[in-house]
């Protein structure tokens, strides 16, 4: 059995899974038909080089196909339910409080898939640089991760408790 902190698993609530599956089903079915009709209608307007409607529809199609691909990957790796949690250990579904090294400010957030919308606190992905660095760490431990600008940042885990919702 895979470790509950497997970075390839995305834990989703049943509501989030159903919502994403519904979006995938629409986009990969009727959504594709609708965009194909828009492209065909714009193509019939003539010269494609000067045809803004055609280019806008093709751009929309590209974005839609990227979303379909992302949703398919997400749904294929999703597990419905809650990631197994151990109080005091950082993992998906945990409310985590950290302190950045050299700073007295504390930051609290939910470590979960960004697709889990509606949380009243900030949500950080376990796949983000910070999320990946702290995943599996215990209270009192430190983790270092690379920021987008290439600099290293170190945080200390102050608290890790199961998220209990609103």
Q: What domain range is 117 assigned to?
A: 94-162
**CA Rg value for the chain:** 21
Angstrom distance (rounded) from CA 129 to CA 134: 9
26-50 mean pLDDT: 88
Residues 68 and 119 in one domain: no
Buried b (16+ CB within 10 A) or exposed e, 22-46: eebeebbeebeebbeebbeebeeee
Q: How many domains does the chain have?
A: 2
Q: Is residue 2 part of a domain?
A: no
Tell me how many helices (H) and strands (E) the chain has: 4, 7
Kindly report the CA angle at 126 between 120 and 129, in degrees rounded to 5? 110
* 89 assigned to some structural domain: no
In a domain? residue 155: yes
**pTM beyond 0.75, yes or no:** no
Q: Do 67 and 124 lie in a common domain?
A: no
Q: Could you tell me if 53 and 111 lie in one domain?
A: no
116, 153: one domain: yes
pLDDT digits (tens, 9 = 90+) for 10-29: 667 777 788 889 999 999 99
Give per-residue pLDDT as tens, 130-154.
Answer: 999 999 899 999 999 998 898 999 9
Separation of alpha carbons 120 and 113, rounded Å: 14
Residue 86 clears pLDDT 70, i.e. is over it: no
Q: Evaluate if residue 164 carries a pLDDT over 70.
A: no
Q: Quick one: 108 and 154 in the same domain?
A: yes
Residue 5: pLDDT band (50, 70, 90) is: very low
């Amino acid at each position: 059995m895979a470790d509950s902190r497997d970075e390839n698993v995305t834990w989703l609530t049943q509501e989030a899974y159903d919502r994403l599956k519904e979006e995938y089903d629409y986009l990969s079915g009727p959504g594709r038909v609708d965009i194909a009709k828009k492209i065909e209608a714009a193509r019939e307007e003539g010269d494609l080089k000067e045809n803004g409607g055609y280019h806008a529809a093709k751009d929309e199609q590209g974005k839609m196909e990227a979303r379909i691909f992302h949703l398919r990957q997400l749904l294929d790796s999703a597990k419905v339910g809650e990631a197994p949690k151990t109080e005091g250990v950082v993992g998906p579904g945990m409310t985590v409080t950290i302190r950045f090294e050299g700073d007295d400010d504390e930051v609290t957030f939910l470590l979960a898939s960004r697709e889990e919308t509606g949380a009243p606190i900030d949500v950080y992905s376990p796949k983000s640089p910070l999320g990946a660095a702290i995943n599996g760490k215990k209270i009192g431990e430190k983790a270092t991760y690379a920021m987008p600008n290439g600099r290293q940042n170190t945080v200390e885990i102050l608290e890790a408790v199961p998220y209990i919702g609103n």
